[in-house]
Amino acid sequence: MNEGLRYLDRLRTCFGPHGISTRSHFRHLWLFIAATSSYLFTVTAQAEGGFHQPSKRLLIKPFIEAPGQSLEFTNIIDKSAKVRWQPNYRAKTGLSVSYAGLGGFSISGMSELAKESAELKGVSRITDYRFRFPWRRFMLSLGYQKNQGFYVDNTASIDQSLAGQYIKNPDMEMESKSLMAIFVADPDYSLAAFLDHSERQTRSGGSWLLVAKFSEASFRDSSRSIGLIPSAIRPRFQPEALLHEGQFRSIGIGGGYGYKLGFGDIGYASAMGLLGPSAQSGKLSDSSQDFTSSSTGALLNVDLGIGANGEENVFGVHLSAEASIYKTAATEAATTLTSLSVFYGRRL
């Protein structure tokens, strides 16, 4: 009872008696998650059967990753009117360092694009920070990504005179921020084993999951030379054809399921999917007006992995994807982030 009262007091402290302002969404959601996780860790006993904690806690993990991102605009009435922007960059190589129970970080770099690709699609610059703090029954993740320099992937369907070429905008920017918390309902499934390899799940098992997520996406053509909607397709995007900027926020709560299938002593194949409703607000803007939006959307996250998680060595392939859809009266903006990585790690 005392723990429950302390938990309620944490919630009152987080939200306050007068609600939450838009500018403080991120801070209050962080405090809410911290209070909730603190209470859950206090009152939830974790079963130890089916798990093994390696004696060596430090994990050094080199990796090769192919990141992906897209921003697609669709006319809500004419669904065939689409503009799909993508950055142009190569796969990156990096090194991940983590310590069991504490989380970790990674550093990475990208090699230069081939001259032909750079001339055809332009060159993108990326800033990418991602942090995961997974325990067996709870995970907190934070992400920040910024890209500058995009090209229109479906240029040929927009302007047939540009067949074999791409519309490029070196000044276009897209920025994404996210904060997500996941709680595991059943003690037979470990987030730490799947996402961080900081422990080993020695038998097959799965669990229903609970998720809370805050995300923010913004995009702009700072030069306003091309805009978000290329001139050849603007007549099909009226009255929102001259857009040069957009900003959206969403807060969602949902659920999902995760499962780990074990084979042999150390092999695994795992899948985790999360889905739920979200409250969204934001706007698209041209030089003279804002097209605002306040609606209900959805959060969607998928993680798939296959590999081996041994006492000293780990290796495998991991695919992660997330998507968000934002709407105004006439335009739908969909953002996707993907990551496909191949890794090998050793415990020290």
pLDDT band for position 47 (50/70/90)? very low
pLDDT digits (tens, 9 = 90+) for 138-161: 999 988 989 999 999 999 999 988
Question: Is pLDDT at 338 greater than 70 in this prediction?
Answer: yes
Question: Is pLDDT at 1 greater than 80 in this prediction?
Answer: no
pLDDT digits (tens, 9 = 90+) for 195-254: 888 889 998 999 999 999 999 999 999 888 889 999 999 999 999 999 999 999 999 999
Question: Is pLDDT at 22 greater than 90 in this prediction?
Answer: no
pLDDT digits (tens, 9 = 90+) for 73-82: 999 999 999 9
Look at 20-24, 163-167, 272-276 and tell me which has the smallest mean pLDDT.
20-24
pLDDT band for position 52 (50/70/90)? confident
Is residue 280 helix, strand or coil?
strand
Q: Of 303, 344, 346, which is closest to residue 134 (Cα–Cα)?
A: 303
Look at 92-101, 106-115, 277-286, 304-313 and tell me which has the smallest mean pLDDT.
106-115
Q: Of 181, 95, 190, which is closest to residue 133 (Cα–Cα)?
A: 181
pLDDT digits (tens, 9 = 90+) for 217-229: 999 998 888 899 9
pLDDT of residue 49: 54
Question: Is pLDDT at 26 greater than 70 in this prediction?
Answer: no
Q: Do residues 59 and 311 touch, judged by C-beta distance below 8 A?
A: no
Domains of the chain by residue range: 1-45, 53-347
Instruction: State the Cα–Cα distance between residues 319 and 302, nearest whole angstrom.
Output: 8
pLDDT, mean of residues 182-197: 90
Mean pLDDT over all residues of the chain? Answer: 83
pLDDT of residue 33: 44
Supply angle C-alpha 122, 162, 112, rounded to 5. 15
pLDDT digits (tens, 9 = 90+) for 100-120: 877 777 778 777 788 889 899
* Fold that domain 53-347 belongs to in CATH: Lipocalin (2.40.128)
User: For 34, phi and psi rounded to 5 degrees?
Assistant: -60, -45
